[in-house]
Amino acid sequence: MLDKKTHQYEKAVLVGLVTRDQDEEKLQEYMDELEFLAYTAGATVEKRFTQKLTQPDSKTFVGSGKAEEIKAYVKENEIGTVIFDDELSPSQLKNLEREIEVKILDRTNLILDIFAQRAQTSYARTQVELAQYQYLLPRLTRMWTHLERQKGGIGMRGPGETEIETDRRIIRDRITLLKEKLKTIDKQMATQRNNRGKVVRAALVGYTNVGKSTLMNALSKSEVFAENKLFATLDTTVRKVVIGNLPFLLTDTVGFIRKLPTQLVESFKSTLDEVREADLLIHVVDISHESFEDHIASVNQILMEINAHQKPMIMVFNKIDDFSYEKKDDDDLTPSTRKNISLEEWKKTWMAKSKYPTVFISALTKENFSEMKKMIYDEVMKIHISRFPYNDFLFEYFEDEDEE
């Protein structure tokens, strides 16, 4: 699955739990995602460790026997990093590091590290730095002693790398300063949004790596960075798009993810403001991903948390060019699973009853693009007429010349 050029990747192992709240199937989904996160950050995963516990051990997250097993494997195979699927408490981090004697990361720290890699603008870097400091503050003693022993690599980017002697008071001062800086930028961005004139605003939302940036490029004929890795886009991009003869603004936002660190939700408030203040949401879903229904639920949950769940929305099921299923033989009497459902069958399920306009496309091959663009046009037009009734656009849809 992953590029195994180990000279440029850190060797890592993953650790997760089957608990009362998380069965084995759900854990495997999360571990697959964690492996993709690790790969995005720059690690190659050598092994996964799982354990069944009623709840995580308060001292070491896993049981003492499992911790010994991980330690033996890590030592024997010269593994540099152990990544846990859930957020660890400061005491768990400290105990695990003492026990296993290598770098210990949790899911939150891993996501923060990817954000630190991906942040391009001063604003994005400020948001990430604030989230990192908020994560570091309760773990200050652990991080500092750890950094003295082994610097660099995944989870070690950003604040703290050169400030080992920094105490909590200075960290708190820095957090206050960053919050003030973000407040100033948020005001500037709010002013920019208000100055965009009488144009309808649409925002692309969706799980990370569903193809939002590829779709943005195809619709706006621009070059927004797109890559088959998680969180390829951090900075909000706004482009003017014209469909038919109707202009509107299209925003590409940061992708959502399950178990999104609370520090990031707070830090990326302004990015989420773009979603909150949009007139229309275009919810992009990767139909080829086996957990796409969970992804939809996660995005809807975050939309509800930021009070943006009642906006007009279009459901765009992307990557139909990558969709595959296992056809059952006629004499196979075993129960069907999700893997046996074809695209046509999916279209007849709950998707057909959705209260939102729904379309199935490929942003890469532009399959069904005409249908999607007509759908977006119709929704934008409804909003435009209700909001700017005296604006003299000619509301007559016609297809672009470069349509397939």
- Is the pLDDT higher at 327 or at 41? 41
Domain-located, residue 152: no
% residues pLDDT > 90 (the chain)? 26
* Same-domain check for residues 132 and 251: no
> What is the reported pLDDT for 336?
60
> What is the reported pLDDT for 311?
92
Q: Is 213 annotated as a binding residue?
A: yes
Q: Is 16 annotated as a binding residue?
A: no
Question: How far apart (Å, rounded) are the C-alpha atoms in residues 138 and 144?
Answer: 12
* Same-domain check for residues 261 and 350: yes
Question: How far apart (Å, rounded) are the C-alpha atoms in residues 35 and 7?
Answer: 18
Does position 110 have pLDDT exceeding 80, yes or no? yes
Q: Is 74 annotated as a binding residue?
A: no
Residue 196: strand, helix, or coil: coil
- Is the pLDDT higher at 396 or at 31? 31
Domain count, the chain: 3
* pLDDT tens column, 243-300: 988 889 998 877 787 777 666 666 666 567 778 888 999 999 999 888 898 899 989 9
* Same-domain check for residues 323 and 372: yes
> What is the reported pLDDT for 2?
44
Torsion of the alpha carbons at 137, 139, 142 and 143, rounded to the nearest 10: -60
What is the average per-residue pLDDT within 384-402? 61
* Same-domain check for residues 38 and 131: no
Name the nearest CA neighbour of 188 among 270, 252, 264. Answer: 270
Q: Is 354 annotated as a binding residue?
A: no
* Same-domain check for residues 18 and 96: yes
* Same-domain check for residues 49 and 108: yes
Question: How far apart (Å, rounded) are the C-alpha atoms in residues 322 and 372?
Answer: 18
* Same-domain check for residues 233 and 308: yes
Domain-located, residue 222: yes
Confidence of residue 3 (pLDDT cuts 50, 70, 90): very low
**CB proximity list for 251: less than 8 A, separation 6 or greater:** 201, 202, 203, 204, 236, 237, 238, 274, 275, 278
* Same-domain check for residues 135 and 212: no
For residue 363, give the CATH number of its domain: 3.40.50.300
Q: Is 85 annotated as a binding residue?
A: no
Q: Is 364 annotated as a binding residue?
A: yes
* Same-domain check for residues 370 and 251: yes
Q: Is 253 annotated as a binding residue?
A: yes
Q: Is 235 annotated as a binding residue?
A: yes
Q: Is 32 annotated as a binding residue?
A: no
* Same-domain check for residues 251 and 132: no
- Is the pLDDT higher at 327 or at 71? 71
% residues pLDDT > 70 (the chain)? 75
Single-letter code of the amino acid located at 269 = K
Under DSSP, the state recorded for 87 is P
CA 315 to chain CA mean position, Å: 18
Q: Is 386 annotated as a binding residue?
A: no
Does position 7 have pLDDT exceeding 70, yes or no? no
Domain-located, residue 155: no
Question: How far apart (Å, rounded) are the C-alpha atoms in residues 120 and 290?
Answer: 31
Name the nearest CA neighbour of 282 among 204, 219, 387, 209. Answer: 204
Q: Which residue has the tokens 């939002």?
A: 212
Question: How far apart (Å, rounded) are the C-alpha atoms in residues 183 and 355?
Answer: 37
Q: Is 209 annotated as a binding residue?
A: yes
Please state, rounded to an integer, the average pLDDT across all residues of the chain.
80
Q: Is 206 annotated as a binding residue?
A: yes
* Same-domain check for residues 207 and 181: no
Domain-located, residue 404: no
Lowest-pLDDT choice from 127-136, 152-161, 301-310:
152-161
What is the average per-residue pLDDT within 74-81? 92
Handedness of CA 48, 132, 297, 346 (dihedral sign): negative
Q: Is 212 annotated as a binding residue?
A: yes
* pLDDT tens column, 317-360: 999 988 887 776 666 666 666 666 778 888 887 777 788 999 99
Q: Is 3 annotated as a binding residue?
A: no
Q: Is 94 annotated as a binding residue?
A: no
* Same-domain check for residues 139 and 182: yes
Question: How far apart (Å, rounded) are the C-alpha atoms in residues 14 and 239?
Answer: 39
Q: β-pairing, 280-286 with 246-252?
A: unpaired
Q: Is 210 annotated as a binding residue?
A: yes
Domain-located, residue 402: no
Is the Cβ–Cβ distance between 285 and 351 less than 8 Å?
no
What is the average per-residue pLDDT within 156-172? 61
Question: How far apart (Å, rounded) are the C-alpha atoms in residues 178 and 184?
Answer: 10
Q: Is 362 annotated as a binding residue?
A: yes
> What is the reported pLDDT for 401?
46
Question: How far apart (Å, rounded) are the C-alpha atoms in residues 228 and 209?
Answer: 7
Conformation bin of residue 153: beta by default, left when phi > 0, alpha when psi is -120 to 50: left
Range of the structural domain that residue 62 is part of: 10-114
